[in-house]
Amino acid sequence: YNAVNDAGTGVGVLGDTKTLNTNYSGGTYYLIDTTKPMAGVIETRTAKNLSRLPGSYSVDPDNNFNATSQRADVDAHYYAGVVYDYYKNTFNRNSFDGNGATLRSTVHYGRNYNNAFWNGSQMVYGDGDGTTFTSLSGSLDVIAHELTHAVTERTAGLEYQYQSGALNESISDTFGVFLDKEDYLIGEDVYTPKKSGDALRSLSNPGLYGQPENMSGYVNTTSDNGGVHTNSGIPNKAAYLTISTLGTATAEKIYYRALTVYLSPKSNFSNARAALLASTADLYGTGSTQYNAVASAWTQVGVY
Ligand SMILES: CCCCC[C@H](S)C(=O)N[C@@H](Cc1ccccc1)C(=O)N[C@@H](C)C(=O)O
Ligand SMILES: [Ca+2]
Ligand SMILES: [Ca+2]
Ligand SMILES: [Zn+2]
């Protein structure tokens, strides 16, 4: 494909129109974005409801991706660009590997698939079954969640099980809130499309959706890799307390430094408290109001 960007348009999962960076080649427009400086491309593909990855490029004859079947493609592509820009502009991180790796997404994965994941190489999004979820790429916090798994994998490498896994999940939710600033909810735009006002998770009130918000409520289980989507409520609550006290601009610096400098594969919740305090001390000094706020947040969730 050429290096020239052909600005296209598209309609997203929620019916909103947005501009897209596309590439023209051989009579067809591709969801390939080559506009990011020093980065690889951002490319979006479709699995056409099978489960083979990466699938074929999302294409359109007239550069207006407005078919209903293209809505998931449009949002996966657009939001990947938003998340790329966030990491580059906020932390000067050039893609998930820091070295301009291509951001590949595949949508329409499987049939009625109620999930999204990072498979070690790319993002993958299901269409949902129309009741539990609509197309999962339709929400910025989902793309932020999945792409942050890629960053975590290349930095702290938090093992995806038990406390390190719940922490891994929490880091992804926390950056979901750093990107999707409007609320402390996760997945609200794509969860239960027939029901308004709910979400998959809440950082401010994990209990609303069945998650513990204190170490006293830690769930010992072997399912879901040791309850990673349940126990993430505890660090999620600490993140909420930190963000609501210090604001996003300060909190994101503290979390990014902890993720890239102090956390490691087997870090547990107590290690996370220490990592975030060390990070805060580096940035603002021990005994600073920021330091005391982070300490207080983790004490409130029962982690020392
Ligand atoms: C392969 C199966 C496991 C998937 C785990 C991925 S990383 C994950 O956590 N996916 C998110 C998707 C998401 C993110 C933000 C908002 C809504 C939905 C997730 O939370 N999945 C839930 C449904 C789960 O797997 O329990
Ligand atoms: Ca949200
Ligand atoms: Ca809903
Ligand atoms: Zn996840």
- Tens digits of per-residue pLDDT, 163-191? 999 999 999 999 999 999 999 999 999 99
Smallest CA separation from ligand 1 atom 4, residue: 117
Question: 38-90 pLDDT, tens per residue?
Answer: 767 999 999 999 999 999 999 999 999 999 999 999 999 999 999 999 999 99
- How far apart CA 115 and CA 73 sit, in angstroms, is 15
Instruction: Verify whether ligand 1 is closer than 6 Å to residue 237 (CB atom).
Output: no
pLDDT above 70 (res 213):
yes
Question: 272-284 pLDDT, tens per residue?
Answer: 999 999 999 999 9
Residue-by-residue DSSP string for 201-260: EESS-GGGGT---SGGG----STHHHHHHHHTHHHHHHHHHHHHHH-HHHHHHHHHHIII
Instruction: Verify whether ligand 1 is closer than 6 Å to residue 186 (CB atom).
Output: yes
Instruction: Verify whether ligand 1 is closer than 6 Å to residue 66 (CB atom).
Output: no
Q: Which of 96, 112, 115, 159 to mutate to test the pocket of ligand 1 (most atoms within 8 A of CB)?
A: 115
Instruction: Verify whether ligand 1 is closer than 6 Å to residue 132 (CB atom).
Output: no
pLDDT at position 38 is 73
CA of 144, nearest ligand number: 1
Smallest CA separation from ligand 1 atom 1, residue: 117
Residues 6+ apart with CB under 8 A from 69: 108
CA distances from 232 to 111, 157, 203, 247 (A): 28, 16, 9, 21
From the CA of 149, how far away is ligand 4's center (Å)? 7
Specify the pTM: 0.98
CA distances from 200 to 138, 203, 280 (A): 14, 10, 30
Averaged confidence pLDDT in the chain: 97
Residues 6+ apart with CB under 8 A from 16: none
